[in-house]
Structure formats: structure tokens, C-alpha cells
Structure 1
Amino acid sequence: MEQTILLHNPGAGDEDHLHTELVQAIEREGFGCVYFSVKKDDSWKEQLEQADFAVVAGGDGTIRRVVKELVSRDALAKRIPIAILPMGTANNMSKTLGIDRDADRGMHIKNWKRSKRKRFDLGVIKNPDTTEFFLESAGYGLFPHLMQAMDAQDKSEVASAKDELKLALQVLHKLILEAEAASYMLKADGKTYEGKCLLLEVMNIQSIGPNLLLAPNASTEDGVFDVVYVDEEQRQAFADYIQQLIQHNTDAQFTYHSFAAKELSIDCSSKYMHVDDELILPIKNPLVMDVRENVLEFLVLDDQKS
């Protein structure tokens, strides 16, 4: 019998019985299961090596928290694969891995028996003062600014994840029209890119923030980043595109500047930076980012696309 460790991030609206239902559903499929709430304490970290795989029931931030523990361990420590039960707002990690947020949780659990292990690269950020990793993306400008603005928003009238995503797009639209462009210089593969940008993202997955698809061709195991940026002269076109998304125009399109790179150096004047879902002060310039291949494994279906 395969043993799982269920790492749950209970939201404000979760009923007390939800974690019991999850454990019972997992055990009905023939898995052993031990439950931990990642909000209560860190005792789950001591039990990771007892499991064959970890089940993360939460959103992108909860996944990062578990990954941070796994990658910080000694190289000889057991590094178990991760299965996701998406329960967050955006669920950008699940989207990239082809895991349907709206599917029945019982179906997700049934599918683990016929799943495969999907390799997942990590991004590493380095400068003389610090080293950091990222799972989803790292970048400057609009998205860290959006994270800060959303923290200050009154969400008392937000009734669902869809409502919150729409609110984020509305806030982003306003920021696009008002944000100051930042100077940047990128060096990758012998080429230099420079100018003024509103957005600069080094993508390890396909979407970011309110499910904005910046890198539709990004793969979790190709050994390269997708570097995406929006220049100052694209300001109005980008704002128009976001407005179309707010209005649910499924035909809306926007052409981002982008290129692939395994390693790059960045010098950017932006006052804002993020690493995954964490808003941070800009790391001292210049910084270097590179890909560490095959660091993690996630459980996905054979017929799912990466």
C-alpha cells in the first residue's frame, strides 16, 4: 500500500469535516493517508520521508511552501513526488500541469493510480548577497505591483475565486495605465535586450497572477525559461487586452516580447520584484538566473499536456 501525506491549507470557508472527507476519499482508493494542516504548525516536515508521495490540497502558495521544504533538504534525503488537489484562487501550477481545478476531487484521487511522474525544473536566482529559488516565475514591474495592490483591496464583496480573479484584472488594468516604466538590461545567449518595460517576467510555467497566459509554450522540463516583457510602447495595447479579458472576450490576443534562455543576467530599475507569490524588495543588481533541471516530480495523467 502506498503511503501519502496530505498537506492541507484550509481556507476561511472550509468546513471542519472537509479534511476528514479528503482522508476517507484517499483511503477508499487504497492509499494510506496521514493528515496535516500546514496552517497549524510545521510538524508535517518531520513526516515527509515516511510517505511515498505528498498530496498538496491548496493553491500555488501552499505548493511553494512544500517545495521549499523539499529542495532545502540534504541531497541524500528522500525527495518524494507531489500530487495536487487544486483548492486555491488562481491555481496556475495546476493549469500548467493540466490538472483541472473544476474536476471532482474523487476523480483526481482515482487518477493517481494511472499517473506518471512529470519532471519539473526550478529557477535559481543568484547575486553576491543571496540565492533564491522560484517554482513559477520571478519578475519586476506590474505583477509585484499588482500583488501589493491586491493586498490592500477590500475583498468583503468577493464571493468566489472567479470574482477575485476578475477584481485582480480590473486592478491590473488601472496599474497598466498609471505605472511608471522601468529601465532594464537583459543578457542571454550572447544577446543584449534593453529598454523600458512595464512588465518583465522570467517564466518557469505558463500563466501568472489572475490566470494571465504569458508563456503558452512553456514546459516544466525543457531546461529553459521563457522570458516575457511588455515595453512602454505597448502600454495602451496591453491595457486594451486586459479590458477585453475583463469583458470575457475569449478571442482577445496580445503579443508579448519573449525569448527562451537557460541562463540570463538582469539589471532592472523597478522598485517592485516578486519571487512566485512573495513580494520582495528588488535583489541587488545585477542578478543571474539559471535553470536547475529535474529537481521535482509531480503526478499527472499520461494524457495531460505539460
Structure 2
Amino acid sequence: MKTVILLHNPGAGDKNHLQMDLVRTIEDEGYNGIYFSVKKGDNWKEQLDQTDFVAVAGGDGTVRKVMKELLQRSLLEKKLPLAILPMGTANNLAKTLGIDPQLSHEHHIKNWKNSKRQRFDLGVIKSLHHTNFFLESMGFGVFARLIWHMDNRDTSSLTSADEELQFALRALRKLTLSADTTPYRIQADNQIFEGRCILLEVMNIRSVGPNLVLAADAKTDDGVFDIVVVGDDQRDEFADYISRLAAGKEASFTWHRFQAKNLLIDCPSAYTHVDDELILPLQAPVSVESREDIVDFLVSDTSA
């Protein structure tokens, strides 16, 4: 019998019955399930040698929190795959991996038996006195400013994930129209890119924030980033694109985009983020590199 450690981020609306339902479903599928709340410490780390894989029930931020702990494990310890039970607002990681948040957790748990390991690269950021990693993206400009904006707004009246996403898209449109332009210079492998931008994102997956798809064909295991730049000359077009998304309409936008494995970035923006966290501006130049095959996620095996 395989053992699964279930790491759950109980939201404000969650009741004890969800915890019990998750564990019951896992055990009904023939696993030995061990439950931990990620809001109650990290005692789960002591159980990792006894488990076959880790299941994360939560959103993108919860997956990052768990990953931060797993990355501290010794190279001599076994590499544990992660299964995602998407219960967040945006679920960008799950969507990139083909894990549909609209399907029930029962469906996902039943599907574990027909899953395969999907390799996943990590982004590593280095600047003077600072090292960090990202699963989704890191960047400068208006999207980082959106994170600051959302962190400082009362969203308690929003009652669903769809309402939160729509609220964020409308806020992003307003911020886009007023965003300052920032000079940037990027050494990408053996090429140089420079100019002025309102958004610069180094993408490791398809989408960021309110399901804003910036790199539709991004792969999790190709060893390169998709770098997306929106210049000041695209400001109005980008704002119109966001408006159409917020209205639920068909929309398209032509990004300035290229791929690279290693980057040196100089972009003195006042707003910088790593995944969904706003951080202090990094001292330039910032080194960003793709580290291949760091973690495995369990995803549906369509050939099964």
C-alpha cells in the first residue's frame, strides 16, 4: 500500500468535513493517507521518508510553500513527486500541467493510479546577497505592481474565484494605462535585448496572476524560459486585450517574446515579483538560470 502525505491549505470557508472527505477518498482508493495542515507548522517534513508521494491541496502559493521545504532536502534523500489537488483562485501551475481545477478532487485522486511523472524545471535567481527560486515566473513592472495593489485592497466581498479573477483583470487594466516605463537590458544566452517596457516577465509556465496567458506553448521540461516584454508602444493594445479578457470575450495580443536558458537582466523597476510574492528591487544585474529536472509532478497519463 502506497503512503501519501496530504498537505492541505484550509481556506476561510473550509470546514472539517473537507479534510475528512479528502482523507476518506484517498484511503478508499487504496492509499495510506496522512493529513497535515500547512497552516500548522512543518512537522510533515519528518514523515517524508515514509511516503511515496506528496499531495498538495491548495493553490499556487501553497505549492510554492511546499516546494521551498522540499528543496532543502539532501541529495541523498529520495526524490518525491508532487500531486496537485487544485483549490486556489488562479491555479496557474495546475492548468499548465493539464490538471483541470473544474474537476472534483475525487476525480483527481482516482486518476493518481493512471498518472505519470512530469519533469519540471525551476528558475533560479541570483543577485548580490540574494538567491531565490520560482516555479511560475519572475518579473518587473505592471504585473508586480498588480500584486502590490491586490495585497492592499479589501477583497472580502468577492465570493468566488471567478469574481477575484475579474477584479484582478480590471485592476490590471487600470494599472497598465498609468504604468511608468522602465529601461531594460537583457543578455539572453548570446543575444542582447534592450528598450523600455511596462512589463517584463520571465515565464516558466503558461500563465501568471489572473490566468493571464503570456506563454501559451511553454513547456515545463525544456530547459528554457519564455521572456515576454510589453513596450510603451503596446500600452493601449495591451489594455484593450485585458478588457476583452475581463469581459469574457475572445482576445489576442502579439507579445515581444524570445526564449533563453541563462539571463542577465538590468531593469530598475520599482516593482519586482517572484511567483506571487512582491519583493524588494534586486541589485542589478540579476542572473536568472533554468535548472532542469528538479522536481516531478504527477499528471494524467493520456496513453494509459
User: TM-score, structure 1 length as denominator?
Assistant: 0.97
Unaligned runs of 5+ in 2: none
**Which whole-Å CA distance do the structure 1 matches of 2:86 and 2:49 have between them?**
23
- The corresponding residue for 2:50 is 50
**Which whole-Å CA distance do the structure 1 matches of 2:172 and 2:195 have between them?**
22
Read off the aligned partner of 1:149 and give its amino acid letter.
H
Deviations 1:189-243 (A, max 9, x none): 3211111111101000000000000000100000100011100110000001001
Unaligned runs of 5+ in 1: none
Deviation, structure 1 residue 149: 0.3
**Which whole-Å CA distance do the structure 2 matches of 1:46 and 1:230 have between them?**
45
SS state at 1:17 partner: helix
Read off the aligned partner of 1:58 and give its amino acid letter.
G
- Aligned residue-pair number: 303
1:34-49 matches, within 5 Å, as 34-49=34-49
**Which whole-Å CA distance do the structure 2 matches of 1:190 and 1:103 have between them?**
43
Higher alpha-carbon deviation: 96-105 or 121-130? 121-130
- The corresponding residue for 1:123 is 123
1:15-164 matches, within 5 Å, as 15-164=15-164
Higher alpha-carbon deviation: 125-134 or 113-122? 125-134
1:143-222 matches, within 5 Å, as 143-222=143-222
- The corresponding residue for 1:242 is 242
SS state at 2:112 partner: helix
**Which whole-Å CA distance do the structure 2 matches of 1:234 and 1:105 have between them?**
40
Deviation, structure 1 residue 42: 1.4
Read off the aligned partner of 2:108 and give its amino acid letter.
H
Read off the aligned partner of 2:264 and give its amino acid letter.
S
Deviations 1:128-164 (A, max 9, x none): 3221111110001111100110111121320100000
SS state at 1:180 partner: coil
Q: Is the 8 A contact 1:273 1:281 kept in 2?
A: yes
Deviations 1:164-189 (A, max 9, x none): 00000010000000110111001113
Q: Is the 8 A contact 1:224 1:291 kept in 2?
A: yes
**Which whole-Å CA distance do the structure 2 matches of 1:204 and 1:163 have between them?**
26
- The corresponding residue for 2:284 is 285
Q: Is the 8 A contact 1:49 1:80 kept in 2?
A: no
Deviation, structure 1 residue 78: 2.2
**Which whole-Å CA distance do the structure 2 matches of 1:293 and 1:31 have between them?**
30
Read off the aligned partner of 2:252 and give its amino acid letter.
Q
Q: Is the 8 A contact 1:70 1:79 kept in 2?
A: no
Deviations 1:240-276 (A, max 9, x none): 1001111110x21011111010001000010111111
- The corresponding residue for 2:266 is 267
Deviation, structure 1 residue 72: 1.7
Read off the aligned partner of 1:248 and give its amino acid letter.
G
Tell me which stretches of 4 or more aligned residues in structure 1 moved more than 3 Å. none
Deviation, structure 1 residue 73: 1.7
**Which whole-Å CA distance do the structure 2 matches of 1:111 and 1:247 have between them?**
34
**Which whole-Å CA distance do the structure 2 matches of 1:119 and 1:76 have between them?**
19
Q: Give the aligned CA root-mean-square deviation in angstroms.
A: 1.0
Deviations 1:54-83 (A, max 9, x none): 000000000001111111222112220000
Deviation, structure 1 residue 283: 1.4
- The corresponding residue for 2:257 is 258
